[in-house]
Chains A and B, each alone.
Chain A
Amino acid sequence: DVKVTQSSRYLVKRTGEKVFLECVQDMDHENMFWYRQDPGLGLRLIYFSYDVKMKEKGDIPEGYSVSREKKERFSLILESASTNQTSMYLCASSEDGSYGYTFGSGTRLTVV
């Protein structure tokens, strides 16, 4: 089975800190995605990547950046964390969208 591993299940960070969320997949998928999940808003796409060093903005990229230096790893960066970035962050990968995505277990980030 494809595995998508997110490095932390829970994180607590202070306002203004630089935060790195890491995601690794083990099935050589081309495509990787970062979503945030908030009650009542569902899942919203932050950034995605079709290939190494390639990235595209999703629906809510403001305040975030990403890095994909290796095919298996896709990092989400909060340059200066703010309280409104408190959320559940979900990473996913896919070979082809029509096959569906495989998700990681999520990172619940709290910014205080």
Chain B
Amino acid sequence: GDSVTQMEGPVTLSEEAFLTINCTYTATGYPSLFWYVQYPGEGLQLLLKATKADDKGSNKGFEATYRKETTSFHLEKGSVQVSDSAVYFCALVPSGGGNKLTFGTGTQLKVEL
């Protein structure tokens, strides 16, 4: 079945450092790919998405590119802030529609001054 694998955390960075959180997936065809963010004590919020190969999703300085050849959707940000501290989830919806999101286990990011 479909699955999503994320790098384990926590990831601890200094403010203004470069961020990469790795995400790879297993699915047939061309799933839609998502990154969600969960701030402490809150639900999940959609951060960005990409629906076809080579698409780049972007939002709030975060970016991720849909790489079909490596089945990856790595999250990047050029300069993190303390306010980016949260848990980040990679997720997919199967190609051909469908409504069930499959999530990775989440990666906690801690940004320190």
Contacts and interface: CB of A to CB of B under 8 A. Distances in A.
B46 A100 contact: yes
A102 B51 CA distance: 17
Which of A45, A90, A96, A97 has the most chain B CB within a 10 Å cutoff? A97
Nearest to A94: B99
Contacts of A102: 46
Interface stretch (B19-27, B68-76, B78-86, B101-109): B101-109
B42 A40 contact: no
Given A40-B105, A100-B34, A45 B42 contact: no
Interface stretch (A12-20, A61-69, A79-87, A103-111): A103-111
> Which applies to chain B's interface (DSSP): helix, strand, loop or mixed?
loop
Interface residues of B, number: 22
A79 to B, nearest CB: 24
B45 A98 contact: no
A42 B102 CA distance: 10
Given A42-B106, A43-B89, A97 B42 contact: no
A106 B42 contact: yes
B89 A96 contact: no
A97 B98 contact: yes
Given A4-B43, A43-B103, A100-B34, 7 more contacts: A33-B101, A43-B106, A48-B99, A97-B32, A98-B32, A102-B46, A105-B42
- Give the top 5 A-B pairs by smallest Cβ distance, nearest first: A42-B105, A97-B99, A103-B43, A97-B93, A103-B44
